[in-house]
Amino acid sequence: MIAPVRIALDAMGGDHGPEVIVSGAALALAQRPELSFTFFGDEAKVAPLVSAHPQLAGVSKISHAPVAVGMDEKPSQALRNGRRTSSMWLAIEAVKKGQADAALSAGNTGALMAMAKICLQMMPYIDRPAIAAIWPTLRGESLVLDVGATIGADAAHLVDLAIMGSAMARIVFGIERPTVGLLNIGTEEVKGIEEIKTASRKLREAVWPNLDYRGFVEGNDIGKGTVDVVVTEGFAGNIALKTAEGTAKQISAYLRQAMSSSLRSKLGYLLARGAFAALEAKMDPRKVNGGVFLGLDGVVIKSHGGSDAIGTARAIEIGYEMVKDELLSKIQETLAGRASATPG
């Protein structure tokens, strides 16, 4: 019998509220029958939605939470107003108490990170958290981190990111020794700030059983899929992520305009609509929804605030994978050999 994976859901987080969270859970359950859920939120709003899905209702609990964290609240404000009473905090706390295996929220990213860090605390030897995102590439998919959890990074933190990212890549991509690159302004070893060059030296000189360091990569290497894991600090990573999202929307808009500009182009679209459908599916952001908070002593998944049910289901699937394939153990396994692997 397959052991169930218990997901704690912040039912009130995101732009669309509990309707999307509940529908996403129902879709995820259809794919993964071993899932079970606890919904934290306004019981009067959540209960009827869950009841509308009999299969989901059979594996779900609803825990009333009187406070919902606003999407525009500052993390400090959210902690003051919602600590121990908000749907976001209670979902995270369920992981802390061992009542859930992973928590998921589509709510305020800053508040979620602050609450998760306080409630779950950091893993041993990790000082700062990171958000890892799956990135579509020409080769398939890569992992990019940090995409916005913390701003700035010293050499030690960049090495931590490489360790955590490679552990997650082993799960997501099924690769025993993922390739890792440090994002820089050039591939030459003399380029970049000192912290990046120091991190590169430490990664290159060390012997990592589960990490294959390939040196510096540039921004255009992300989309190429040059390496399995791209490591950068949160400021640059978040800009890269938002730029990629904006570029994808820009290209889609250009294509729509071009395909409707004349009778000939409309006819061309009809003849090539299968190819356009394949392109649209490839660029569908819902398929890579679900940022993983790495470095915490527990599994927390951030779903995009504007995601629909399909995107929510994918984020739940990411949480399922992190639990079943023991993300925390894989990170600890790599960390355990860090002292001997890293020179000076």
Q: CA 248 → CA 202, 223, 242, 243, 255, distances in Å?
A: 35, 12, 10, 9, 11
The whole-number average pLDDT for the span 251-256 is: 76
Residue 238 is part of which domain span? Answer: 132-286
The whole-number average pLDDT for the span 234-241 is: 89
The whole-number average pLDDT for the span 34-50 is: 96
Q: Give tens-digit pLDDT for 80-97.
A: 877 789 999 999 999 999
Higher-confidence residue of 226 and 263: namely 226
Structural domain ending residue among the three candidates 286, 308, 333: 286
* 30 has a pLDDT exceeding 50: yes
Length of the chain: 344
pLDDT at 206: 84
Q: Are residues 136 and 121 in the same domain?
A: no
pLDDT at 284: 60
The whole-number average pLDDT for the span 318-326 is: 92
Measured distance CA(303)–CA(104) in Å, rounded = 7
Q: Give tens-digit pLDDT for 141-174.
A: 899 998 988 888 899 999 999 999 999 999 889 8
Q: Are residues 151 and 98 in the same domain?
A: no
* 116 has a pLDDT exceeding 90: yes
pLDDT at 217: 95
The model's pTM: 0.85
Q: Are residues 95 and 162 in the same domain?
A: no
* 280 has a pLDDT exceeding 70: no
Q: Are residues 138 and 280 in the same domain?
A: yes
Percentage of the chain beyond pLDDT 90 is 55
* 56 has a pLDDT exceeding 80: yes
Q: Are residues 42 and 122 in the same domain?
A: yes
Q: pLDDT-based confidence at 198, cuts 50/70/90?
A: very high
Q: How many domains does the chain have?
A: 2
pLDDT at 276: 57
Q: Are residues 281 and 334 in the same domain?
A: no
pLDDT at 297: 93
Q: pLDDT-based confidence at 7, cuts 50/70/90?
A: very high
Q: Give tens-digit pLDDT for 256-279.
A: 777 777 777 767 666 666 655 665
pLDDT at 301: 95
* Residue 321 belongs to domain with CATH number: 3.40.718.10
pLDDT at 63: 96
pLDDT at 344: 47
pLDDT at 50: 97
